[in-house]
Structure 1
Amino acid sequence: MNIDSRELRDALGQFSTGVCLVTAAGDEGVAYALTINSFASVSLDPPLVLWSLQKDAEIFPVYANAATYCIAVLAASQEAHSTAYAQKGGHRLSDSDYELGTNGAPLIKNALVNFECSLEQSLDGGDHIILLGRVTRVSEIEAQAPLVFFGGEYRELQ
């Protein structure tokens, strides 16, 4: 059975997700951010989370080789971050958007929460790789509305 990729994408868009930025420091010390919605909890003991990265993404080498990174869950007020860091060629993190975490990865200011991670394992996932990260630190939780994506649009929770 062949599945049309556009139909599959539309069908998957019926699952509402939070929106996150994954940040990492490149070899040259430049801070990068990438918008994702493929974030999931895996285990509490040990503390593991996962996300996936398209193999042909221009930013692939930065994240595929990052020993540490941060996953920031975005607030509704951070829609502009989501849009900016989802653009091809737009992954260099603005200095005003972050501070360095204890693991050396950038933490997004005013995010709902930041998960500092070390790479535990990379797994093949077809046209993506699945990055399994061990959570080494969690920031304080900011009480604010989350950024939610559903049906190809940002939405608000009622």
Structure 2
Amino acid sequence: MPVPAVPPQARAPSFSAAEFRQGLSMFATGVTIVTARRADGQLVGLTANSFNSVSLHPPLVLWSLAQAASSMAALSAGSHYAINILASDQKALAEQFASRTADRWRGVAWREGVAGAPLLEGAAAVFECFNRSRYEEGDHVIFVGEVEHCAHRPGASPLLFHGGRFYTEHPL
């Protein structure tokens, strides 16, 4: 009787977590704030740069969140959220929503989206998403959202993040 084949597995990393993080920081990204409402109506928001498109048909996007994040329960249980792509003049907002401050929403201009998720005023683009699926991988959860509504501000320059710093776009 043949011995069952052992499925291939990745080798243990030959680098530290700090080296991995430094390497990842060389990939320039846009900056988003993911927003939602808890079941009790309380607003939830966090800065994320782990955003990407997945599919045009149906329109799908993804982003990821640390499993230990305080907003994980609300974002996993809720049916909708919004991904607000920040404009170049929204650096302070990115920092505010990345902080551990108790009230990230203080002084923030927003309006309610079609499904109730907060949409940030002045964002370069907004995607209102149905919380379609989630995948646990490593210490994060990958969220896939089905975009129900989207809008963008023509001519807006995006806020960029690279090497631990914020940037604005400059055409080559």
TM-score by length of 2: 0.87
1:32 to 44, 57, 60: 44
Give the equivalent residue in structure 2 for 1:151: 163
Q: Is the 8 A contact 1:111 1:142 kept in 2?
A: no
Distance in 1 (alpha carbons) for counterparts of 2:114 and 2:121 = 14
Distance in 1 (alpha carbons) for counterparts of 2:115 and 2:139 = 29
Q: Which runs of 5+ in 2 are unaligned?
A: 1-11
Distance in 2 (alpha carbons) for counterparts of 1:58 and 1:79 = 22
1:105 to 117, 121, 139: 117
For 1:1-158, list aligned pairs within 5 A: 1-2=12-13, 3-90=15-102, 92-94=104-106, 96-158=108-170
Give the equivalent residue in structure 1 for 2:5: none
Q: Which runs of 5+ in 1 are unaligned?
A: none
Deviation at 1:89, TM superposition (A): 4.0
Runs of 4+ in 1 over 6 A off after TM superposition: none
Give SS of 1:28's match.
Answer: coil
Give SS of 1:119's match.
Answer: strand
Q: Is the 8 A contact 1:48 1:135 kept in 2?
A: yes
Distance in 1 (alpha carbons) for counterparts of 2:46 and 2:126 = 14
CA radius of gyration, larger in: 2
Count the aligned residue pairs: 158
Q: Is the 8 A contact 2:28 2:162 kept in 1?
A: yes
Q: Is the 8 A contact 2:96 2:104 kept in 1?
A: no
Deviation at 1:60, TM superposition (A): 1.4
Deviation at 1:96, TM superposition (A): 3.7
Deviations 1:68-93 (CA, angstroms, capped at 9, x unpaired): 00000000100011001011244642
Deviation at 1:94, TM superposition (A): 3.5
